[in-house]
Structure 1
């Protein structure tokens, strides 16, 4: 439980630092609109609930092996999903990459700060 709290703390610090980068802000904005458009599409065309549509949109863009048990059934839904995934996966990947680099950088800086303080003692 303690490791979860420490990791969450590092993630929040990294998010705060990442939002200071213009590229990260543009990626988050793009990702928000991609998720919003996907959610609106799947609720209107496929008839999914908003929660199911958001869940499918987020999980399908994250590189994981989670089975959503949701698949588009209409031809338009299948074509949209192909383009949605082609665009969305790249934006999600870059967003996670920048967040991860920021998290590692802040961890490295914290470690070097601790080392400096130990040397002073």
Structure 2
């Protein structure tokens, strides 16, 4: 166990995870200490994916905890209007990198939007 994993375990407490459920399937019990650990790490700049890996929970659970706690997400999903604007900009000749800067996103996010729209691989 790494020091980070040990600290994470101490932060969420032993009561955070229940391995039994009426239906027999394991289920995560979200305690106040787990909520605090997730929120503190996210507000300190750690990514939701990193928090999930460190605490041994899913990224969906991390995002759910943050949303229910009213914590603003740094990069919420792109809206349909934003995807349409990205597509229009790309078709107008704006590069993926420039579009990514405009939307404060990773260029890979822009590539995925363009891929779904069937526009990746613009010919010169």
TM-score class, shorter: under 0.3
TM-score calculated relative to the size of structure 2: 0.24
Which structure shows the higher helix fraction?
A: 1
- By relative contact order (CA 8 Å, sep 6+), the higher-ranking structure is 1
